[in-house]
A and B are shown apart, each in its own frame.
Chain A
Amino acid sequence: MLTYTMRRLALAVPTLLLISLIVFLLLELAPGDPMAQMPLTIPPEVREQMRIALGLGEPWYVRYVAWLHMVFVVEPSHMLAAATGVDLAAEGSRLLSWQSRAPVAEIIAQRLPQTLWVVGLSYLFGILVAVPLGVASARRPHSWLDTIGTFIAMAGFSVPTFFTGVLLIVIFSVTLGWLPSMYDTTLEVTDWDSLRRQAAQLAMPVTVLALYNAAQISRYVRAATLDNLAQDYVRAVRARGMSERAVLYLHVLRNAMIPVVTVIALGVPNIFAGAIITEQIFRVNGIGELLISAIHANDIPMVQTLTFLFAVLIVLFNLLADILYGMLDPRIRYD
């Protein structure tokens, strides 16, 4: 398993390099001018100077290698220095956002916690709802519980998050006034009161995303459970006189979790991407919001780095899914 993991990690390096190159070239081809938001009073020759200062005068491969150098050498050494105080003194300037002139890594580090809170909690709640719901639905197919589960899944799956999000804002913020419609990043959790406020501002974005996640996962859980309940081994376990609870929550669930865990692991990067819209609605200034504003401003270093970050997540969670699959299913051995 360890050699397999190592081999997969080594293979991930060329994959990620290729992805970063493709992203870079796509951004290179895309129309748009990083100077577009500058005041029109700036004379053209000054604009040209500013472009050259951003490195836009260099050919694309020089800029690509510079980006690689900054992302893989300069920024990690700065992060290490900030975290432990060990300064490797890596040469070269830091990767700056064109929009704010601040290091890209630091902006991402500021924005990441909000996204992790919203995305992480919604995924957690989604799974906590989906697994029991899916199992209960499969236990008695076409019962009232299964019908409700199917309805929730269909609604959660087919109604987009920007609709449910706005709907919740209209109900709970505008009409009832219970929950804030905007996310306040400056809020620090120090006591009970601030914890309650944090929970209140997380409630709606987390609910919207959790509903969406639960809708998908519960369908997988239901299908996998139904599939396993029809297997011969279930009858054999019952014949041995084991309780229905042991049959369902031990034997069947353990088997049903094999495909479900894979789906959950593969879905994590999607969730980050899916959170982009939800973050816009609830004004959560997380990664998704950062990406959107960077695209609007033609902030190419920021867009490039964020896109690359998503690519890293996808590759890593693919690997994680494969490793979990091997751990859950004894019939799969990678070595």
Chain B
Amino acid sequence: MPDRGRPVLEVRGLEATLTGRSGARVQAVRGVDFAVASGECLGVVGESGSGKTVTLLALLGLLPETAHWSGEVRFEGRDLLALPDPVRRRARGAGLGVVFQEPLSALNPVFSIGYQMMEPMRAHLGLTRRAAAARAAELLELVGIPEPGARLGDFPHQFSGGQLQRITIAMALACDPRVLIADEPTTALDVTVQAQILALIRRLRAELGMAVIWVTHDLGVVATLADRVLVMYAGRVIEQATTAELLGDPQHPYTRGLLAAALAPRAPRPRRLRPIPGHPPAVAPARGCSFRPRCAEALAQCAAREPPRIVIGPRRDVACFWDPATGGARDG
């Protein structure tokens, strides 16, 4: 049984500032904290530009050289960002498996998928070519690629989109990662393939007992897959809850807006979708809550300072002054 209590990956106070081409600086991630335990699936939701992907890249150490970041990323007790580069590379490459959004562009077009799968195994696990090839074929079998041994020599363009995403998942599993990190891996796929990939992830999670961090803007995917959800807005985590709590009793006006804007699958009568008015800010306002310009419930104090994260239950917190239960200010 995987140990569900102790976190395998813990992120504390992660901040990231990106420098644009013109030299303009954008604070894309502002103080993100979260933890994920073995066997747990953490969903990260938010619209485009909310800092989801930058958070992932920062914790993986993959931000461009022009970016600045700080914070602590504890993986199995070690602070990844403080480790010397080769050690961090190895820990990250072997311990954290990453699946990106576009499978075709995430694979090198001129190397066979077998070579690309075997490369990290040979580098991190010290496998021989033959052993790595055997393991690569096993992994392809695991993710449901027919005739895996024969297809190791094929190149990325010879597979379909769904197959490629399975291959990148198999690749992410190559070194028995403790955490599988997926950045919108089903966005580019059609709905049936998406369902297959989700079923695959659920199965692999149960079989291999790894933690999963699933970044998406699709609440439906979160509902079927995640145990716990982080909602991100303008570079911050604004709400954190178990999936059931979040869907049943959303606290932050933004989360409530997201749910109101989504289709309810088993609703008796299709209701009108309610979009959240306005656009997410490119740069967070200097003072006050960054959601305030779009918020219907904004209070006087929301303009004065950014709401801190208020703990409202076991592993449940929200960054908002407004309390949906009373319709007024929270006491926290």
Which of B57, B60, B107, B120 contacts A233 (CB under 8 A)? B107
* B62 within 8 A of partner (CB): yes
User: Could you tell me the distance between the alpha carbons of A233 and B94 in the complex, rounded to whole angstroms?
Assistant: 18
Q: Which stretch of A39-47, A250-258, A274-282 is in the interface?
A: A250-258
Question: B123 touching A242 by the CB < 8 A rule?
Answer: yes
Sample 16 A-B pairs with CB under 8 A, ordered by A number.
A232-B100, A232-B106, A233-B105, A236-B98, A236-B106, A236-B168, A239-B93, A239-B98, A241-B90, A242-B89, A242-B120, A243-B86, A243-B123, A246-B123, A254-B111, A255-B110
Question: B111 touching A232 by the CB < 8 A rule?
Answer: no
CB neighbours of B89 from chain A (8 A) = 241-243
Question: A328 touching B123 by the CB < 8 A rule?
Answer: no
Q: Which chain A residue lies CB-closest to B181?
A: A239
Considering residues B89, B90, B107, which has the most beta carbons from chain A within 10 angstroms of its beta carbon?
A: B89
Question: A330 touching B119 by the CB < 8 A rule?
Answer: no
Question: A330 touching B109 by the CB < 8 A rule?
Answer: yes
* B92 within 8 A of partner (CB): yes
Q: Which chain B residue lies CB-closest to A239?
A: B98
Question: B93 touching A241 by the CB < 8 A rule?
Answer: yes
Which of A235, A241, A254, A329 contacts B120 (CB under 8 A)? A241
* A238 within 8 A of partner (CB): yes
Question: B109 touching A239 by the CB < 8 A rule?
Answer: no
* A7 within 8 A of partner (CB): no
Q: Which chain B residue lies CB-closest to A252?
A: B108
CB neighbours of B91 from chain A (8 A) = 241
Question: B110 touching A330 by the CB < 8 A rule?
Answer: yes
Which of B86, B110, B112, B120 contacts A240 (CB under 8 A)? B120
Asked whether A238 and B62 contact (CB < 8 A) given A232-B106, A251-B111, A331-B157, the answer is yes
**For chain A residues 197-239, which have a beta carbon within 8 Å of chain B?**
231-233, 235-239
CB neighbours of B168 from chain A (8 A) = 236
CB neighbours of B109 from chain A (8 A) = 233, 255, 329-331
- Shortest Cβ gap from A103 to chain B (Å): 48
Asked whether A233 and B124 contact (CB < 8 A) given A239-B93, A243-B86, the answer is no
Question: A330 touching B157 by the CB < 8 A rule?
Answer: yes
Q: Which chain B residue lies CB-closest to A234?
A: B108
**For chain B residues 117-135, which have a beta carbon within 8 Å of chain A?**
119-120, 123-124
Number of A-B contacts defined by CB within 8 Å? 74
CB neighbours of B124 from chain A (8 A) = 241
Question: B102 touching A232 by the CB < 8 A rule?
Answer: yes
Q: Which chain B residue lies CB-closest to A230?
A: B64
* B230 within 8 A of partner (CB): no
Number of interface residues of A (CB under 8 A): 21
* B34 within 8 A of partner (CB): no
* B171 within 8 A of partner (CB): yes
Considering residues A235, A239, A251, A255, which has the most beta carbons from chain B within 10 angstroms of its beta carbon?
A: A239
Question: A237 touching B108 by the CB < 8 A rule?
Answer: yes
CB neighbours of B86 from chain A (8 A) = 243
User: Could you tell me the distance between the alpha carbons of A331 and B170 in the complex, rounded to whole angstroms?
Assistant: 23
Contact indicator per residue, chain B 78-115, by CB within 8 Å of chain A (1) or not (0) = 00000000100111111010101010011111111000
Which of A232, A242, A258 contacts B110 (CB under 8 A)? A258
* B159 within 8 A of partner (CB): no
Asked whether A240 and B100 contact (CB < 8 A) given A258-B110, A329-B110, the answer is no
CB neighbours of A243 from chain B (8 A) = 86, 89, 123
User: Could you tell me the distance between the alpha carbons of A238 and B105 in the complex, rounded to whole angstroms?
Assistant: 14
Q: Which chain A residue lies CB-closest to B154?
A: A330
Considering residues A233, A237, A241, which has the most beta carbons from chain B within 10 angstroms of its beta carbon?
A: A241
CB neighbours of A232 from chain B (8 A) = 100, 102, 105-106
User: Could you tell me the distance between the alpha carbons of A235 and B94 in the complex, rounded to whole angstroms?
Assistant: 15
**For chain A residues 239-271, which have a beta carbon within 8 Å of chain B?**
239-243, 246, 251, 254-255, 258
CB neighbours of A235 from chain B (8 A) = 57, 62, 100, 106
- Shortest Cβ gap from B197 to chain A (Å): 17
Which of A231, A233, A239, A246 contacts B62 (CB under 8 A)? A239
User: Could you tell me the distance between the alpha carbons of A331 and B57 in the complex, rounded to whole angstroms?
Assistant: 30
Question: B108 touching A255 by the CB < 8 A rule?
Answer: yes
User: Could you tell me the distance between the alpha carbons of A243 and B112 in the complex, rounded to whole angstroms?
Assistant: 19
CB neighbours of B110 from chain A (8 A) = 254-255, 258, 328-330
- Shortest Cβ gap from B317 to chain A (Å): 29
Question: A239 touching B60 by the CB < 8 A rule?
Answer: yes
Give the 10 A-B residue pairs with the shortest CB-CB distance, closest first: A241-B93, A232-B105, A239-B98, A236-B106, A330-B155, A240-B120, A233-B108, A241-B89, A240-B93, A331-B157
Question: B105 touching A231 by the CB < 8 A rule?
Answer: yes
- Shortest Cβ gap from B241 to chain A (Å): 29
